[in-house]
Structure 1
Amino acid sequence: MSNDPTLARLANATLLVPFESHHAPRWLLEGLADGIAGVCLFHNNLDGSEQVTALNARLAEAADTPLVSLDEEGGDVTRIGQAQGSDYPGNAALGAVDDTDLTRLTHRSLGGRLAALGFNMDLAPSVDVNVADDNPVIGTRSFGADADLVARHAAAAVRGLQEAGVVACAKHFPGHGATSQDSHHVLPRVEADLDLLHRRELAPFRAAVEAGVRTILTAHIEMPALGGDGPATLTPSILNGLLRDELGFTGVVMSDAMDMHGVSGRIGIPEASVRAVAAGCDLLCLGRFVYADQIERVRAALIDAVREGRLSGERLEEAAERTSALRSWIRGTADRRTAAAETDGIGLAGARRAARVDGELPALADPFVVEVDAPAGMAVGEVPWGLSGWFPDVRRVSPDAAGADRLAAEAAGRDLVVVVRDAHRYPGAQELVSRLLAAHPAAVVVEMGLPIWRPDCGAYVSTYGAAHVNARSAAELLGAGGTVGAAAPPRT
Structure 2
Amino acid sequence: MGLDPGLRRLALGTLLAAYPGPVPPDWAVDLVGQGLAGHVLFGTNVHDPAQVAASTAALRAARADVLIAIDEEGGDVTRLAHATGSPYPGNAALGAVDDVALTERVYTAIGAELAVLGITVDLAPTVDVNTADENPVIGTRSFGADPKRVAAHSAAAVAGIQSVGVAACAKHFPGHGATIADSHHELPTVDVPPAVLRQRDLPPFAAVIDAGVRSIMTAHIRVPALTGDGPATFSRAVLVDLLRREYGFTGTVITDALEMKGAALAAGGVGPAAVRALAAGADLLCIGAQVDAELVEQVAAEIVGALGDGRLDRARVEEAADRAAALAAWTRAAGTPPPTATDLGYAAARRAVRVEGDVAGLDRPLVVQLHAASTIAEGRVPWGLGPHLAGLEEIRVVAAETDPETLRGLAGSRPIVLVGRHLHRLSGGAELIDALAAAHPVTVVEMGWPGRWRPTRARAFVTTYGASHANGRAAAEALGLAG
Counterpart residue number, 1:174: 174
Counterpart residue number, 1:393: 393
Counterpart residue number, 1:183: 183
Please state how far the C-alpha of 1:290 moved relative to its aligned partner: 2.1
Counterpart residue number, 1:282: 283
Please state how far the C-alpha of 1:403 moved relative to its aligned partner: 2.5
Cα 1:369–1:393 shift into 2, 3 Å: same
Does 1:269 find its partner at 2:270?
yes
Mapped to 2, the partners of 1:57 and 1:103 lie a distance apart of 30
Mapped to 2, the partners of 1:462 and 1:270 lie a distance apart of 43
SS at match of 1:265: helix
The amino acid that maps onto 1:374 is A
Mapped to 1, the partners of 2:274 and 2:482 lie a distance apart of 52
The amino acid that maps onto 2:436 is L
Counterpart residue number, 2:296: 295
Cα 1:376–1:87 shift into 2, 3 Å: same
Mapped to 2, the partners of 1:363 and 1:187 lie a distance apart of 48
Does 1:383 find its partner at 2:381?
yes
Counterpart residue number, 2:118: 118
Cα 1:227–1:294 shift into 2, 3 Å: closer
Counterpart residue number, 2:201: 201
Mapped to 2, the partners of 1:30 and 1:104 lie a distance apart of 37
The share of aligned pairs that are identical, in percent, is 51
Counterpart residue number, 2:249: 249
**Worse-superposed segment, 173-182 or 112-121:** 112-121
Deviation sequence 1:84-133 (CA, Å, 0-9, x none):
10001000000001110011110001101111121111000000010111
The amino acid that maps onto 2:347 is A
Kept in 1, the 8 Å contact 2:3–2:301? The answer is no
Q: Which runs of 4+ in 1 moved over 4 A?
A: none
Counterpart residue number, 1:150: 150
Cα 1:7–1:340 shift into 2, 3 Å: farther
Counterpart residue number, 2:447: 448
**Worse-superposed segment, 247-256 or 53-62:** 53-62
SS at match of 2:403: helix
The amino acid that maps onto 2:132 is A
Cα 1:118–1:156 shift into 2, 3 Å: same
Please state how far the C-alpha of 1:364 moved relative to its aligned partner: 2.1
The amino acid that maps onto 1:200 is R
Please state how far the C-alpha of 1:287 moved relative to its aligned partner: 0.4
Please state how far the C-alpha of 1:3 moved relative to its aligned partner: 2.7
Counterpart residue number, 2:365: 367
Counterpart residue number, 1:478: 479
- The count of aligned residue pairs is 478
Mapped to 1, the partners of 2:150 and 2:93 lie a distance apart of 12
- Structure-to-structure mapping, 1:23-38, within 5 angstroms: 23-38=23-38
Kept in 1, the 8 Å contact 2:112–2:164? The answer is yes
Counterpart residue number, 1:488: none
TM-score, structure 2 length as denominator? 0.97
- Structure-to-structure mapping, 1:134-149, within 5 angstroms: 134-149=134-149
The amino acid that maps onto 1:371 is Q
Counterpart residue number, 2:309: 308
Please state how far the C-alpha of 1:404 moved relative to its aligned partner: 1.7
SS at match of 2:396: strand
Counterpart residue number, 1:489: none
Mapped to 1, the partners of 2:2 and 2:316 lie a distance apart of 17
Contiguous gaps of at least 5 residues in structure 2: none
Deviation sequence 1:264-318 (CA, Å, 0-9, x none):
1250110111111111110000000021111110000000100111101111110
TM-score, structure 1 length as denominator? 0.95
Please state how far the C-alpha of 1:2 moved relative to its aligned partner: 6.3
Kept in 2, the 8 Å contact 1:103–1:153? The answer is yes
The amino acid that maps onto 2:369 is E
The amino acid that maps onto 2:241 is G
Kept in 2, the 8 Å contact 1:305–1:311? The answer is yes
Q: Which of 330, 340, 349 is residue 338 of structure 2 equivalent to? A: 340
The amino acid that maps onto 1:397 is V
Please state how far the C-alpha of 1:227 moved relative to its aligned partner: 4.5
Kept in 1, the 8 Å contact 2:226–2:235? The answer is no
The amino acid that maps onto 1:261 is K
Contiguous gaps of at least 5 residues in structure 1: 483-492
Kept in 2, the 8 Å contact 1:405–1:436? The answer is yes
Kept in 2, the 8 Å contact 1:229–1:235? The answer is no
Give the alignment's Cα RMSD to 1 decimal: 1.2
Counterpart residue number, 1:353: 351
Counterpart residue number, 2:407: 407
Counterpart residue number, 2:12: 12
